[in-house]
Amino acid sequence: MGRVYRAPRYTGPVPDEPAISRDQVERVARLARLDLGPDELDDTTARLAALLGYVDRLARLDLEGVEPLSNPLDATNRVDEDKPRDPLPTERLMTMAPQAHPPFVKVPKVLGDGGGA
């Protein structure tokens, strides 16, 4: 495998009144269950502000009464027959778990004071 490529710090334009603050970015990171370091928070704030500034052009469209489109074919999902199929082999799936006591996957304590795995 080649070297790891690191993207440089954001250097593009930032709108005068950013649509998103560092505090908001921190909150969104919590919602997304994503650890971001202090530098990453700064960089993400700058980049998201620039992108949201660009996306604001959608406000120029008259979308009154337009039905949102969630599937390009406007198709509804097919319903499958309620019939069991052969499952993937449990032994194989267990080998994928980072920590396991087959047939269980090991996780840190969920209730109480936590506790490392």
Partner 1 sequence: MDVTDLTLIELRDAIARRDCAAAEAARACLDRIEAVDPGLHAFLQVFRDEALARAESIDARLSAEGAGAVGPLAGVPIAIKDNLCLDYGRTTCGSRILENYESPYTATCVQRLLDAGAVIVGKTNLDEFAMGSSTEHSAFGPTRNPWDRQRAPGGSSGGSAAAVAARLTPGALGSDTGGSIRQPAAHCGVVGLKPTYGRVSRWGLVAFASSFDQVGPFGRTVADAALLCEALCGPDPLDSTSAEVEPPALLATLERPIDGLRLGIPAQARSGGVDPDVSAAFAAACSVYESLGATLVLIDLPNLEYGIAAYYIIAPAEASTNLARYDGIRYGRRARLEPGEDLETLYRRSRGEGFGAEVKRRIMLGTYALSAGYYDAYYKKAQQARRVIKGDFDRALDEEGLHAVFLPTAPGPAFKLGAKTADPLAMYLEDFFTVAANLAGLPAVSFPIGLAQADGSALPVGGQLVARAFDEMTLLRAARMHEAATDWHTQKPPA
Told to check if 38 binds partner 1 by CB under 8 A, we report no
Site for partner 1 in 71-90 (CB under 8 A): 71-73, 75, 77-80, 88-89
Q: Which residue in 23, 34, 102, 104 binds partner 1 (CB under 8 A)?
A: 34
Q: Quick one: how many helices (H) and strands (E) in the chain?
A: 3, 2
Told to check if 18 binds partner 1 by CB under 8 A, we report no
Q: Which residue in 58, 82, 84, 101 binds partner 1 (CB under 8 A)?
A: 58
Told to check if 101 binds partner 1 by CB under 8 A, we report no
Residue 101, beta-bridge partner list: 104
Number of residues that bind partner 1 (CB under 8 A): 72
Told to check if 50 binds partner 1 by CB under 8 A, we report yes
